[in-house]
Chain A
Amino acid sequence: MGNFNLEEFIGQDYQQGFFTTLDSDTVPSGLNEDVVRLISAKKNEPEFMREWRLKAYRHWLTLSEPRWSTVQYPPIDYQNICYYSAPRSSKDGPKSLDEVDPELLRTYEKLGVPLKERELLAGVAVDAVFDSVSVATTFKKKLAGLGIIFCSFSEAVQEHTELVRQYLGSVVPYTDNYFATLNSAVFSDGSFCYIPPGVRCPMELSTYFRINAKNTGQFERTLIIADKGSYVSYLEGCTAPMRDENQLHAAVVELIALEDAQIKYATVQNWYPGDKHGKGGIYNFVTKRGDCRGANSKISWTQVETGSAITWKYPSVILQGDNAVGEFRSVALTNHYQQADTGTKMLHLGRNTRSTIISKGISAGHGHNAYRGLVKVAKSAAGARNYTQCDSLLLGDKCAAHTFPYIVVKNPTARVEHEATTSRIGEDQLFYCQSRGIAAEDAVTMIVNGFCKEVFKELPMEFAVEAQKLLGVSLEGSIG
């Protein structure tokens, strides 16, 4: 009989694993105050920035790595990590795409992010972060006409110093947690975005992150400010080449939505997950937090996490303004020996604040998948509401799914709902599809996509397609 082997099918290889040979401007590995100063000097930063980094570094020395999550990994040697690496050709800063290293552009093409095409066809302004320094920022002019600032973080520090000074660390302070503190000390680059009052950003803003150089941790930092009554939708994609060693990635993303503003932030994360036996892969320790600072503001996180050996990430929303809305939608897939401990925090402070959490965890192979979420309703948050739904899907019998919902309610008028399910892709479902002529690989993709539908429908169109493909690739060779 033509038997379908689920084990074999989910044991496919990572397809983004190529390595680009570029001249890098790399600081020797190791971390001390001099390295922090060196990074700051290389970027020609103003004093406040350097001092902020140093304060963060000194605070970091007093901290120890968090151990409360389900993820397990050998100790990280922070002195064996290189904290700064920039492609040499970008030293003088490319003025246009023509000046971008063609090798780099080919890399993006392999990733399916042809900057030029996107620029022409899709209307996406891409701020590409390649090993720590932004190499190309498109569409700047058109955005500038509307008063929108979209540039690399380094550039923002130089050109929009006051905005950076005002908002940096205002959502995730440098004391926040071990990895965010490390990031604050050594962050290399990232994206910066400011939408002025009343402006609706006419295109999806997009960043593509990629870790390239050996032993470089990527510490990018993103800051997005939506001023009163503005709107922005932001997309972030990530991949990394295959390596035997584990690479550390500790990013920080801060979102600030003022009165009546709305920020949509979507991530498709496909860092190298390690091989079939759990060797190599990215350690992804990320702090993402949004602050609905003004009344009637709204922040939505949508994430599709298919990569990384370890994913440790909890995109959260602080609901300060009255009637503010926070949303978190997540698809996390773990295959082989991948581990994910991911979820969100919804902190209700303002009156009539609302939050929605939809989490879809898919575990295959020996994958471990945990949802960890905190819904906290403060005394001040009269009329707050939360709805949480956590669904887990298991493929095979060696994987695991866990759910850790924490709920703290201090206001009696709050309403908090939580639903959770765990199911297994049944032989029955598979056989049913097959008996209708649909190949097993396509059937699995179909069933998994069906499971994730509620999240995918929130992604911008082209990202939704990419996400579906990624799921397909992560589970098999191609999508049907």
Chain B
Amino acid sequence: MLDISNLHVSIDNKPILRGIDLTVKAGEVHAVMGPNGSGKSTLALVLAGRDNYAVTAGEVRYLGHDLLTLSPEERAREGVFLAFQYPVEIPGVANIYLLKAALNAQRLHRGEAELDAVDFLALVRDKLKFMGMDEALLYRPVNQGFSGGEKKRNEILQMAVMEPRLAILDETDSGLDIDALKVVADGIENMRSPQRALILVTHYQRLLNYIVPDRVHVLSQGRIALSGGPELALELEHRGYGWVDAGKDSRTGVMP
């Protein structure tokens, strides 16, 4: 589904990603871990199409197409979804309005009829319930006045409504208490399907207690320093990121 090869990305001429190779197949869940500043969020944002990053080399293929030539909205309509680390507030725009506009933009792109308010509400109510969210949240301005947990849940709600083929979740677990983490993790786990690929970008392994990934990758200094199975996340938890440092010696890790 997703093929990243030799991806180099800079911001203001400062290299952030320095040759990423990553392949994610449909049905797989990959965790991308790493210390602060290792380039995790950059990778997530570049995949979603944020334009203040410059791709200096490499290529990203998504379902056989060149992903990097598509605008952010085209990517979204083609089934790429990014759950934001810091969801953005939009005053005066009702949450449900954004959700409906988003889903209908995608449906139009696929040649499907737009959903009317009634059908849309029925669909959203279902997902809302699963996320343990209050319906009142639909009518509040997008993310404005939301608690940290509400914001993250709202991202998962959007994902559930959009039903993407490739979802990238950027530190969706950060800033959540244990109960909220459980709800959000259930929401993500519920999206797991043979047709869908998930990339979990996370700093901690605690989310991975709920969602066991197929593969774990450790980013360090803009490269994937280490890849492994779910046990790699546990090992990182014990030993810290210090022992995987691409700059010193990236070959000391255990390759299962």
Residues of A whose CB lies within 8 Å of any CB of B are 1-4, 426-429, 431-440, 442, 446-447, 449-454, 480
- B121 interface hit (Cβ, 8 Å): no
A480 to B, closest residue via Cβ: B101
- Other contacts beyond A431-B88, A432-B88, A446-B98: 8, CB < 8 A: A1-B49, A1-B70, A2-B70, A3-B51, A434-B49, A439-B73, A446-B97, A450-B141
- B115 interface hit (Cβ, 8 Å): no
Q: Which of B10-18, B102-110, B176-184, B226-234 lies on the face that meets chain A?
A: B102-110
B161 to A, closest residue via Cβ: A436
Which residues on B sit within 8 Å (CB–CB) of A442?
101, 105
A452 CB contact (under 8 Å) in B48, B51, B92: B92
- Closest 7 pairs between A and B when the two form their complex, measured CB to CB: A2-B71, A450-B92, A450-B93, A437-B76, A436-B102, A434-B72, A432-B88
Which residues on B sit within 8 Å (CB–CB) of A434?
49, 71-73, 76
Which residues on A sit within 8 Å (CB–CB) of B73?
2, 434-440
Q: A432 and B84: CB pair below 8 A?
A: yes
Which residues on B sit within 8 Å (CB–CB) of A437?
73, 76-77, 102, 105-106, 109, 162
Q: What are 17 of the A-B contact pairs (CB < 8 Å)?
A: A1-B51, A2-B70, A2-B72, A428-B88, A429-B88, A431-B48, A431-B51, A432-B87, A436-B98, A436-B102, A436-B158, A437-B105, A438-B102, A446-B90, A447-B90, A450-B91, A450-B92
Which residues on A sit within 8 Å (CB–CB) of B162?
436-437
A122–B67 Cα gap in the complex (Å)?
A: 49
Q: B92 and A451: CB pair below 8 A?
A: yes
Which residues on B sit within 8 Å (CB–CB) of A1?
49, 51, 55, 68-71
Which residues on A sit within 8 Å (CB–CB) of B158?
436
Q: A451 and B51: CB pair below 8 A?
A: no
Which residues on A sit within 8 Å (CB–CB) of B93?
446-447, 449-450
A4 CB contact (under 8 Å) in B71, B88, B106: B71
Which residues on B sit within 8 Å (CB–CB) of A439?
73, 105
- B50 interface hit (Cβ, 8 Å): yes
Which residues on A sit within 8 Å (CB–CB) of B51?
1, 3-4, 431
A431–B93 Cα gap in the complex (Å)?
A: 15
Which residues on A sit within 8 Å (CB–CB) of B49?
1-2, 431, 434-435
Closest CB of chain A to B90's CB: distance in Å? 6
Q: A438 and B52: CB pair below 8 A?
A: no
| Known contacts A1-B68, A1-B71, A3-B51, A432 near B90 by CB under 8 Å | yes
Which residues on A sit within 8 Å (CB–CB) of B98?
433, 436, 438, 446
What are the interface flags for B150-187 relative to A under an 8 Å C-beta threshold, 1 for contact and 0 otherwise?
00000000100010000000000000000000000000
Which residues on B sit within 8 Å (CB–CB) of A454?
92
| Known contacts A437-B77, A437-B109, A431 near B72 by CB under 8 Å | yes
A429–B91 Cα gap in the complex (Å)?
A: 10
Closest CB of chain A to B92's CB: distance in Å? 3
Which residues on B sit within 8 Å (CB–CB) of A480?
101
Q: A435 and B76: CB pair below 8 A?
A: yes
Closest CB of chain B to A346's CB: distance in Å? 24
| Known contacts A427-B52, A439-B105, A433 near B90 by CB under 8 Å | yes
From 85 to 138 in chain B, residues with beta carbon under 8 angstroms from any chain A beta carbon are 87-93, 97-98, 101-102, 105-106, 109
- B29 interface hit (Cβ, 8 Å): no
B52 to A, closest residue via Cβ: A427
B91 to A, closest residue via Cβ: A450
Closest CB of chain A to B109's CB: distance in Å? 7
Closest CB of chain B to A434's CB: distance in Å? 4
What are the interface flags for B50-80 relative to A under an 8 Å C-beta threshold, 1 for contact and 0 otherwise?
1110010000000000001111111111000
B86 to A, closest residue via Cβ: A428
Closest CB of chain B to A478's CB: distance in Å? 15
Which residues on A sit within 8 Å (CB–CB) of B81?
435
Q: B50 and A429: CB pair below 8 A?
A: no
Most buried by B among A428, A437, A450, A454: A437
A433–B88 Cα gap in the complex (Å)?
A: 9
Most buried by A among B48, B91, B106: B91
Which residues on A sit within 8 Å (CB–CB) of B88?
426, 428-429, 431-432
A454–B49 Cα gap in the complex (Å)?
A: 33
A1 to B, closest residue via Cβ: B51
Closest CB of chain A to B9's CB: distance in Å? 12
Closest CB of chain A to B60's CB: distance in Å? 11
